Structure 1
């Protein structure tokens, strides 16, 4: 049952839309630049190494926002006793006017301490469009990474120059075309869309059906770029070994990241503590299940991102604790 679900995700993609499209183009330019740098050093695992390097760059750029998040958490802990007093003051009173007064007092308290309740969510808000755009990029890397695009084009041109190619390709391509979409494999652009979705079995069938087509070296080059230690980065993670390990690592690193953050975010409020515990359990489970259906390349982005965030959080916490303690000492004088 599960395998049939994941096969559906290997259909030829439609256009990403007016929101994801522009973000994908911008990220694609950055990823292409990083890929060229990696490709000069090594061709093996180059797409996987590109994702890792890209993830580290993104996380480094997010350090200022992570600092703001850490600062927001510190202020929250500091003003909690005052917040509790305000809540106790109006406890049990359901009058809308009283609720407004309580909210006004809370707002004044936030303003006094320069606290923004959503300030800690900024890294997440920025990460979400990156994650969605990266999903499309990994499913269609040939559109964004010029070296991969050139390789695909060379393969497509050789196929188009081979007699009777359509007789072999049509039965392979037809199941990959989603309902409502038509493609013409005699056109390079459409053929590239199909080639991007071919499995190893499809490539074997093409080579067997077209004996005069010699693309073995090109396919070997393609595999060395797109595979990362035996895993095709464009394929959904699924439940097969070893790809399923990515789903497990995704959940495990999400848990570790949440635990490191919550360890420093101590609260006296029992409700807040309960919510934090629930989130620390629910989020890793959700990410494990969610990762099963995303491309392996995106899963690696998430895992590496979590690992970098854990290291950042440890060092940032130590730095912030020292800095905020010095600020408190200075303000008390």
Structure 2
């Protein structure tokens, strides 16, 4: 399940980047659960932070991007604990699976599932614990992306050398976004990721570069800041994973 979700994440990203109804402004009157409860609150947060910073929407994007990433960070830390806990019991899991490898009878398969569940309960491990944080954070990231693209106030302001509502005339942001995306993928790659998955992740920086050449600079700025945060986050999580592996016991993960 976790591998499936991880494999779908780049595809979801590509769908988000192509966007639908990105030109439709988001307001308090926008219809639908997605607009009303996800996109609009983040759009309101962007405009509120901009008001607090003296109408600087570029700075607002930077601050809110960091805020969103900090909110998501505990989910990633929980996912990491769950992943490590599953790694600890993997030999026992494989032993049970090998025991029933040549038994195709449904009753035997049910016995295998029962023994696996007992193993999870004994070690207080949730087999879906690594998937749930990913599934929770994706709607937040997607909603924030749409909030930036559909907040009309952003298009009317400039930041540094570029207009937030227009593509970067010097192509600096798209290039930096692509480079930081590439670095982030290198930082977050692990030995467990399949070669096919690595190929897909290598394609993402190219797509970011192409999309950044035409999409509003506000989105490219969001990618750059998110990537920079992601690079630091990835280095921190790798160091944390190393420390967790050095401990004799892994904290139980039950949700």
1:312 corresponds, among 233, 236, 241, to 233
Aligned residues: 227
> Partner of 1:258 in structure 2?
188
1:250–1:291 contact (8 Å) kept in structure 2: no
1:38–1:49 contact (8 Å) kept in structure 2: yes
Equivalent-residue separation in structure 2 for 1:80 and 1:278 (angstroms):
23
Gaps of 5+ in 2: 1-16
Query: Which structure would you say has the larger Rg?
Result: 1
1:279 corresponds, among 168, 178, 197, to 197
1:247–1:289 contact (8 Å) kept in structure 2: no
- What is the TM-score when the length of structure 2 is the normalising length? 0.70
2:161 corresponds, among 229, 236, 239, to 229
Equivalent-residue separation in structure 1 for 2:20 and 2:181 (angstroms):
21
Equivalent-residue separation in structure 2 for 1:128 and 1:139 (angstroms):
17
Q: Does 1:126 align with 2:136?
A: yes
Q: CA RMSD in A?
A: 3.6
Structure-to-structure mapping, 1:9-48, within 5 angstroms: 12-13=23-24, 17-22=31-36, 23-39=38-54, 46-48=56-58
Q: Note the C-alpha offset of 1:252.
A: 0.8
Can you list the C-alpha shifts for 1:113-155, whole angstroms capped at 9, x where unaligned? Answer: 222233223443233223332333223323xx5xx6xxxxxxx
Equivalent-residue separation in structure 1 for 2:59 and 2:103 (angstroms):
58
> Partner of 1:177 in structure 2?
none
Pair 1:9–1:72, CA change in 2 (3 A): closer
Q: Note the C-alpha offset of 1:77.
A: 1.5
Equivalent-residue separation in structure 2 for 1:291 and 1:17 (angstroms):
32
Pair 1:99–1:300, CA change in 2 (3 A): farther
Equivalent-residue separation in structure 2 for 1:243 and 1:69 (angstroms):
31
**Structure 1 residues 304-313 or 76-85, which shifts more?**
304-313
1:139–1:235 contact (8 Å) kept in structure 2: no
